[in-house]
Chains A and B, each alone.
Chain A
Amino acid sequence: MNKIRTQLMLCGGTGCDSTGSEKVRQALVREIERQGLADEVEIVVTGCNGFCAVGPVMVVQPEGIFYQKIQPEDAPELVEEHFLKGRPVKRLFYKEPASKDIIPRMDDIPFFASQMFRAMRNKGLIDPEVIDEYIARDGYFALAKALNEMTPDNIIEEMMASGLRGRGGAGFPAGMKWKFAKQAEGDKKFVLCNADEGDPGAFMDRSLLESDPHAILEGMTIAAKAINAHKGYIYCRSEYPLAIKRLGIAIAQAKDYGLLGEDILGSGFNFDIEVYQGAGAFVCGEETALMRSIEGKRGMPRPRPPFPAHKGLWEKPTILNNVETLVNVPQIILKGGEWYASVGTEKSKGTKVFALSGDVANIGLVEIPMGTTLRTLVYDIGGGVPNKRKFKAVQLGGPSGGCVPEEYLDTPIDYEEIVKVGAIMGSGGAIVMDNHTCMVDMARYFMDFIQDESCGKCTPCREGTKQMLEILEAICKGKGQSGDIERLETLAHVIRRTSLCGLGQTAPNPVLSTLRYFRDEYEAHIEEKRCPAKICPDLVKFEVDPELCKRCGLCHKGCPADAIIWKKKQVAVIDKEKCIKCMSCYARCPFDAIF
């Protein structure tokens, strides 16, 4: 008889998949069989656990022991020592970078300890390809309640009471949006899920799609009941093949169980969902563009009003919600709006998922209550800046957002508070930057992104961002002129006011926010032709300071052009003829000896 006593929750998310979790799974299966434990120990391949940077990761339940960076070769030892003899393998435990403490249990690791899982409640706990596991965690209970015990108005009331605001960027109250669409007249209505996740540096939607696809289907179906829609689309970017695959599996299983399709749960309500693959255009995340794209056209935004709640996909009333927004819906229906609103700040309720990345020790997905400070996010959870470098800023909100410097790290996470310090909540990308980041270069980077992704429909965005980019490029090349900063500001304000869609309206934000906090860096570039962070290739001399050089040879090893002459115990010398200015030596030198 099968008596499973231990479950190995092995992460099969995209991150761990690419660091080899499938090979680890095979090795574990082999070893478990060889040691005769197949009846007692079971492997469950889960979605992203959140701590991707130390992958492949595995959590052993019920004890909650967390293993990191597992390799296939570790399988024999793990199985024999831990699962047979009950002695967990210390060498694969998490080690706190600063204190070097070894922490065996997942819940005790600081990265997880301050988190609160609501949107990510099932992460790492279920096999996303098995519907029963979702149901075992109360999945589809909310749907049953919504269909059989609630009227559309009841549903909308709960959503309003929850205070849940759209997690895709703008933070519009979800309940309100649904209410408008419910009131709108139309023979057909649509529910759409925005799984485009165009924001670079954000990967929470991907992780939710991969680890808990049924929660999205359930959220959408509840929305459909609220507005009386019978057809839905999930617009998912084609860069996310695993998410697309798992959504497909989930849809088929839900239909099979009578939880999707005709006469759902015998309630007489019909709703069907289709996955629509995007084709790589950032602007398609914008709601009106996304709808045009589903119609098979170029994804160009159109002016609003009319709002999609009245005229959306194929001119019919439509609601579009972000993945994270929808994932929160089932629990709000099950536990009530009040329950959801019990956490957070006055105007921002519940939790928010952040994709923490960049120059921070603990990279991964983090879900925290609204009102938590940025400092907690970056230091307590993120573990601060590694490599003995200094924190410079955290970039929030991607190309529509801005940078928050050290002195504002005590800002609580809240839609309005974050706007006050010049950034936005956005979709939750949080990219930490250390003192090796040039803020003018970052502004140039974002402007390049926007310029590349502008659909070109309206002039201020198409031409204005081009001009801003040209000015920023000149500054980074050492060709900045006095008056450039003022020109940037003027352009920024015009583009903000006159662009048609959110892309253009927010495009100047990274420039304005870096100008607000790092104006001196702009000035150094323009007036002194100097890049204080030593990042802009044209302003770096590519010489080695013999005083600072510790003769370690690291720069030599990483030079792709063989341009660095170095012998043991000798100061490195750069051959400027051969150097292709790739900046690799600069990034490597631990002693800042290259200038």
Chain B
Amino acid sequence: MKQKTHPLHPDISEDMWGKIDKIIASGKGIPGSLISVLRESQEVVGYLPSELINHISHGLVLPTSQVFGVATFYSFFSLTPKGRHTIRVCTGTACYVKGIKEAIGRIHGTYGIKEGETTEDRKFSLEGVRCLGACGLAPVMIVDKDIYGQVTSDKVINILEKYE
């Protein structure tokens, strides 16, 4: 089934819809493809607005409730818009023992955001993740795709200031 019309959404351009339809087409009829379709779609848009979730459930011919159920179950998926940069602080045990709390406190103090929040100007989103597997460098923070190890509370703001 080819879908001709796309729902209007301020964060999803026609170009993005085109990409999303390709992603859906490649996952259609393949058992277990839902999670990868959601992931790739989220990569295109940055998050999963409900219109997008509806569109995916039509495209894959799956009940909307199942698609919502999956999207809300996994922490990787976000149903709300994200900032231009995503700060992911590791809250795993090694990082906790090594003082990630201080760095988080510093981010909170400077940008006013807690875990799960986005700054008002949509510059940064702050997320906590449970171990990035780089515990040797604890405490660890990732901004977009850049990994920073041994982030003391002093260093953290210097690092973030580099992002526009």
Distance (Å) between the CB of A129 and the closest chain B CB?
19
Q: Is the CB of A558 within 8 A of B154?
A: yes
Whether A279 contacts B109 in the complex (CB less than 8 A), given A203-B136, A449-B130, comes out as no
- Nearest-CB distance from A63 to chain B (Å)? 25
Complex CA gap A52/B147 in Å reads 14
User: Residue of A at shortest CB range from B75?
Assistant: A280
Q: How far is the CB of B127 from chain A (nearest CB, A)?
A: 10
A457 → B minimal CB distance (Å): 11
Q: Is the CB of B153 within 8 A of A296?
A: no
Nearest to A48 among chain B residues (CB) is B136
Interface residue ranges, A against B (CB under 8 Å):
14-15, 17-19, 52-53, 55, 197-203, 205-206, 238-241, 276-282, 293-299, 314, 355, 357-359, 363-365, 395, 398, 429, 431, 433, 437, 445-446, 449, 452-453, 455, 557-558, 560-561, 580, 582-584, 587
Chain A residues near B92: list those with CB within 8 A.
Answer: 200-201
Given A297-B70, A298-B69, A357-B135, residue A277 in contact with residue B39 (CB < 8 A): yes
Interface residue total, chain B, C-beta cutoff 8 A: 49
Q: Chain B residues with Cβ under 8 A from A560's Cβ?
A: 105-106, 109-110, 153
Of A201, A238, A239, A398, the residue contacting B39 (CB under 8 A) is: A238
Partner of A437 from B75, B97, B102 at Cβ < 8 Å: B97
Query: Quick one: closest A residue to B101, CB to CB?
Result: A583
**Which 9 pairs from chain A and chain B are nearest by CB?**
A52-B136, A200-B92, A279-B74, A18-B147, A582-B105, A200-B131, A279-B76, A296-B34, A296-B32
Residues of B within 8 A of A (CB): 31-36, 38-39, 66, 69-70, 73-77, 91-99, 101-102, 105-106, 109-110, 129-138, 145-149, 152-154
Nearest-neighbor residue (CB-CB) of B73 within chain A: A298
**Residue in B96, B101, B138 whose CB lies within 8 Å of A582:** B101
13 residue pairs of the A-B complex, CB under 8 angstroms, read A200-B91, A200-B92, A202-B131, A206-B133, A280-B76, A296-B31, A296-B33, A355-B136, A357-B138, A358-B93, A431-B97, A446-B93, A582-B101
In Å, the complex CA distance between A315 and B36 comes to: 21
CB atoms of B130 and A200 under 8 A apart: yes
Contact in complex: B31, A295 (CB < 8 Å): yes
| Candidates A18, A296, A449, A584; contact of B102 at CB < 8 Å | A584
Residue of A nearest to B131 (CB): A200
Nearest CB to that of B153 among chain A residues?
A584
Given A358-B94, A582-B106, check contact A279 B137 (CB 8 Å): no
B residues in contact with A201, CB < 8 Å = 92-94, 131, 135
Q: How far is the CA of A365 from the CA of B69 in the complex (A)?
A: 37
Among A198, A357, A446, A558, find the residue whose CB has the most chain B CB atoms closer than 10 A: A357
Q: Are A433 and B73 in contact (CB under 8 A)?
A: no
